[in-house]
A = this chain, B = another copy of it.
Amino acid sequence: MVNCDWCNLSEEDKQFQVYESVLWTVFLSDEQDYIGRCILVLKRHCGSMAELTEDEWEELRRLVCKVETCLKTVMGATLCNWSCLMNSFYKDSDPSPHLHIHVRPRYDKPVMLHGNIYIDSEFGHHYALHKSGSIPAEDKEEVFTRLKEWLN
């Protein structure tokens, strides 16, 4: 769709793409409030879960398995929180949502990267909404490489 940012991702936007299947793309999120957090983006412009085709739904199943297993294996996640919200699009007077799904890995133990410690302080509870999602570039690069290598 011409005016949709998600249909027209730049090479810079795609910098943290960790995986691509036929109908979906997976990116490491800009927000790393839960280390390893990713976003699954449908390649087609589609506004809701209810409008997914049979093929898109079937491929999503394989992707959910793959990404969840990856986050458990390479990051040590205990479980994953999945959500499909799309709220931000509705700030617009003429909303045109583009389907995407958030996955936040949750951890019962701290994760160490280059001497930095990432603690899931809310483990066992809903993910925090206003936790800082900014992490050092070398840690982001490390997570990106681990995920990309495992997934491909």
Residues of A within 8 A of B (CB): 48-50, 52, 54, 57-58, 61, 64-65, 68-69, 78-88, 90-91, 97, 106, 108, 123-127, 129
Cβ of B61 and Cβ of A90 under 8 Å apart?
no
Q: In the assembled complex, which residues on chain B have CB atoms less than 8 Å from the CB atom of A79? A: 48, 86-87, 90, 97
In the bound complex, CA of A58 to CA of B57 (Å): 8
Shortest distance from the beta carbon of A22 to any chain B beta carbon, whole Å: 17
- Interface of chain A, main secondary structure: mixed
Q: A83-B83, A85-B126, A129-B126 are in contact. Are A90 and B64 (CB under 8 A)?
A: no
Q: In the assembled complex, which residues on chain B have CB atoms less than 8 Å from the CB atom of A49? A: 64-65, 68, 80, 82
Cβ of B83 and Cβ of A123 under 8 Å apart?
no
Q: In the assembled complex, which residues on chain B have CB atoms less than 8 Å from the CB atom of A88? A: 124-125
Contact of A87 among B50, B57, B124 (CB under 8 A): B124
Cβ of B80 and Cβ of A83 under 8 Å apart?
no
Please name 11 pairs of A and B residues whose Cβ atoms are closer than 8 Å in the assembled complex, sorted by A. Answer: A48-B80, A49-B80, A50-B64, A50-B80, A57-B57, A57-B61, A78-B90, A79-B97, A82-B83, A82-B84, A88-B125
Besides the contacts A81-B85, A126-B129, what 19 more A-B pairs have beta carbons closer than 8 Å?
A: A48-B68, A48-B79, A49-B64, A49-B80, A50-B69, A52-B61, A57-B57, A57-B58, A79-B86, A79-B90, A79-B97, A81-B83, A81-B87, A83-B84, A85-B127, A87-B106, A87-B124, A87-B125, A91-B124
